Amino acid sequence: MKFLKIIRILYGTIQKNAVDLLFALVLLLLVVFCLHPDRFAVHYNYIDKQSIASELEPAYWPKINSCKLNSFESKKSTLLYPNENPKIDAQGLAQKYNVQIGGAWKPSDCKPLFNVAIILPYRNRLKQLSIFINYIHPYLQLQNLDYTIFVIEQSKNKEFNRGKLFNVGFTEAMKMRNFHCFIFQDIDLIPQNPENIYTCSRLPRHMSSSVNTFRYNLPYSGLFGGAISITKQQFQQVNGFSNVYFGWGGEDDDFYSRLQNKGYPICRFCPDVAQYYMLSHKKETPNKERFTYLKSGSKRYDTDGLRNLEYKVLDQKLEPLYSWFLVDI
């Protein structure tokens, strides 16, 4: 009896250690899998550095004295990395960088090839807005662009609707000027390479395809969010963003499907050019209906978007570094 008891104890010990060993092995494999540099990698075609200039879509071609794309290698050192706690003197910065009231600038010594509206949806992220605005003006001026920055702030009445704010920004910007190109961008994304030109390519472009939070890899080939560029004509043809996505998620995938529906492929620059740093922030509440809306999205492409856009401008102001609109949607 004692012998059998000893056998049972030994068998239980071996069995327990085997389970522990198996668990440790599985955990090790998971760690290796998650930390592997290609964990999130999706291989995709991209425009290499040498071809970027030829893929851009100018607004016009001045006959004489047109601006050239700068040689950025010699000027990268002049671009300061964004300060996490910037002390913003808006008027002082506007004077330093010669920014016109409302956040507009263009080079004075040559005729720019591009005119661009940069649309930033916003609510309750003053620190991130300050960091972005402080950084982006000198960044854009390295590129010899004719640009204006628009901050579209949503009132507190409803959940945040990023796609609808983009539609509002497009509409209000077009009232001010006939822009050729639009950049739709989140304020928590900081471009790290000034060779990532903030204007439109011939095709709609996913500008932020290489973000630090994804280990500078692309999570999935259909991702078309964060920062994108698209011409006025292309945006109007796809009827803008959907207006139904209140809360986080869905509007980017819906917009990508709209582009596909109209036969527009997308393009990206090479990963080392399209690098962004994402500022830390509190996550938004997910939209529980986003998957349902995505499934039925094709039924609303022609009706839900710019064509049925309704909103009310509660306030607006030409700030020293951007044009600001407070809207109820």
- Expressed in angstroms, the distance from the first to the final Cα of the chain is 80
Each residue's pLDDT tens digit, 285-317 = 788 889 999 999 999 999 999 999 999 999 999
b/e 116-150 (16+ beta carbons within 10 angstroms → b): bbbbbbbeebeebbbbbbbbbbbbbbbbbbbbbbb
How many DSSP H helices and E strands does the chain contain? 8, 11
Burial of 189 by CB count in 10 Å (0-12 exposed, 13-18 middle, 19+ buried)? buried
Q: Once rounded to an integer, what is the mean pLDDT over residues 145-153? A: 98
Highest averaged pLDDT of the listed ranges 52-66, 136-150, 272-286: 136-150
Q: Using the Cα atoms of residue 280, residue 82, residue 220 and residue 301 in order, give the sign of their dihedral.
A: positive
* pLDDT score of 142 more than 80: yes
pTM across the whole model: 0.86
pLDDT at 83: 67
pLDDT, greater one: 89 or 179: 179
DSSP secondary structure, 188-232, as one string: TEEE--TTS-SS-BSS-EE---EEGGGTTB-S-TT---SEEEEEH
Distance CA 208, CA 216 (A): 9
* pLDDT score of 17 more than 50: yes
pLDDT at 26: 47
Nearby residues of 255 by Cβ (< 8 Å), 6 or more positions away: 163, 224, 238, 241, 242
Q: What is the overall mean pLDDT for the chain?
A: 88
Nearby residues of 165 by Cβ (< 8 Å), 6 or more positions away: 119, 121, 122, 152, 154, 327, 329
Distance CA 127, CA 226 (A): 18
Distance (Å) of CA 14 to CA 19, 188, 258: 9, 53, 59
User: Token pair of 322, please?
Assistant: 């951007």
Q: Once rounded to an integer, what is the mean pLDDT over residues 226-231? A: 98
pLDDT at 313: 98
Grouping H, G, I as helix, E, B as strand and the rest as coil, residue 175 is helix
Give 153's Cβ-side CA count (13 Å radius).
Answer: 16
Q: Which of 220, 200, 189 is nearest to 267 (CA)?
A: 200
b/e 234-249 (16+ beta carbons within 10 angstroms → b): bbeebbbbbbbbbbeb
Q: Using the Cα atoms of residue 193, residue 198, residue 204 and residue 208 in order, give the sign of their dihedral.
A: positive
* pLDDT score of 131 more than 70: yes
Q: Once rounded to an integer, what is the mean pLDDT over residues 81-92? A: 78
Q: What percent of the chain has pLDDT over 90?
A: 74
pLDDT at 195: 92
Contact criterion met (CB below 8 Å) for 205 and 229: yes
* pLDDT score of 3 more than 90: no
pLDDT at 63: 82
pLDDT at 287: 83
* pLDDT score of 45 more than 70: yes
Each residue's pLDDT tens digit, 185-220 = 999 999 999 999 999 999 999 999 999 989 999 999
